[in-house]
Amino acid sequence: MKAVILAAGEGTRLRPFTVSRPKVMIPIGNRPILEYVVRALAANGITEIILVVGYMKERIMSFFGNGSRFGVKISYAIQEKQLGTAHAALAVRNQIKEEFIMVAGDNIIDAQVISDLLKHKGGLAMLVTDSEMPSKYGVVQIESGRVVDIIEKPDKKVGNIINTGIYRLPPSIFDHLEKGVMAGKSGITHVLHSCMPRLKIEAVRSTGRWMDAVYPWDLIRLNEYAFSLSGQETAGLLHRGTSVHRRRVRDRSVRDDIPGHQHREWGAYRSLHVCQQLHDHEQRVHRLARPHIQGGDRRRMPHHDRLLRPLRPGPGQGG
């Protein structure tokens, strides 16, 4: 069985991180997001992978190459213009002749997710999961194990079960995708919704891990998960103008070196508060030692916030 990974988009909601790289290449635990997807497929014996690339495709192609160092065979299909996932999927139409797996390349998944989907035999299947932010995804309605409706990014709460963008599909799906694109439907979920109830879509739940980053701050949560898998902690010294050179911050690793104040060391996840007086205002400087989200082997501390508020009048001062 082949797998198609959609990796052509930018991930605009994750700017500025995606200004210099596509979302799938943002490092999580010192690995690109896309690498987690490739390894999850390889762990299930799926070794023929087609990557649909577009935005900054050279970054992806130079890193993954032919896939040999990941134990898979990777080929590429190009989506020249990013016109939606349905349009991207059509780029592989001539390379797919049998049932296949389609996966979004910008989510963290583990091998169990793919394993659970492979247990479904025959027909069209969609992997679904519960979400705390259903309004950011396609919310699915399920009856007797089948998807009967998909509401894309609903304005009001209609449920918390979402489409993960992971499917087991027959090659006949391309006919539906082509008709949908010609009708102006850009996303795969839009096409599937328009084909209901003619298409019977089985809902598959997984005991595995599926994680997504919608906004930049979500990358912290993904890194926490990735570092928990590695089981490695390394001490390092943080102060203004420096970076972390190791994988994780450990207790007694953050130093407060604000001028005029005694050096102090703090444990991980501690918030440092320093007050300075600026004429008639108090300036509170906050620094939070927490996992970092800037990629490669060097991760920058998050910027501190400056909150200005009027000081209370002192004795003898007017109100």
At 68 the three-state DSSP class reads helix
Query: Is CATH 1.10.10.10 the right assignment for the domain spanning 2-227?
Result: no
pLDDT tens for 253-274 read 444 444 554 444 444 444 444 4
On whether the CB atoms of residues 89 and 63 are closer than 8 A, the answer is no
- Average predicted confidence (pLDDT) for the chain: 75
DSSP states along 192-245: HHHHTTTS-EEEEE-SS-EEE-SSTTHHHHHHHHHHHHHT------B-TT-EE-
Tokens of 50: 């087609």
- What phi, psi does 13 have (nearest 5°)? -70, -10
- pTM, to two decimals: 0.71
At 89 the three-state DSSP class reads helix
193, 200, 49: which is closest to 124 by C-alpha?
200
On whether the CB atoms of residues 92 and 50 are closer than 8 A, the answer is yes
At 187 the three-state DSSP class reads coil
From first to last of its 319 residues, the chain has per-residue pLDDT tens of 999 999 998 888 778 888 888 888 988 888 899 999 999 999 999 999 999 999 899 999 999 999 999 999 999 999 988 888 889 999 999 999 999 999 999 888 889 999 999 988 777 899 988 777 766 777 887 888 888 888 777 777 777 788 888 999 999 899 999 988 888 888 888 888 888 778 888 888 888 888 888 778 888 888 888 877 765 554 444 455 544 444 444 444 444 444 554 444 444 444 444 444 434 433 444 444 444 444 444 333 343 333 333 344 445 544 4
Domain ranges of the chain: 2-227, 234-310
CB within 8 Å of 48: residues ≥ 6 apart: 1, 2, 3, 72, 73
On whether the CB atoms of residues 167 and 102 are closer than 8 A, the answer is yes
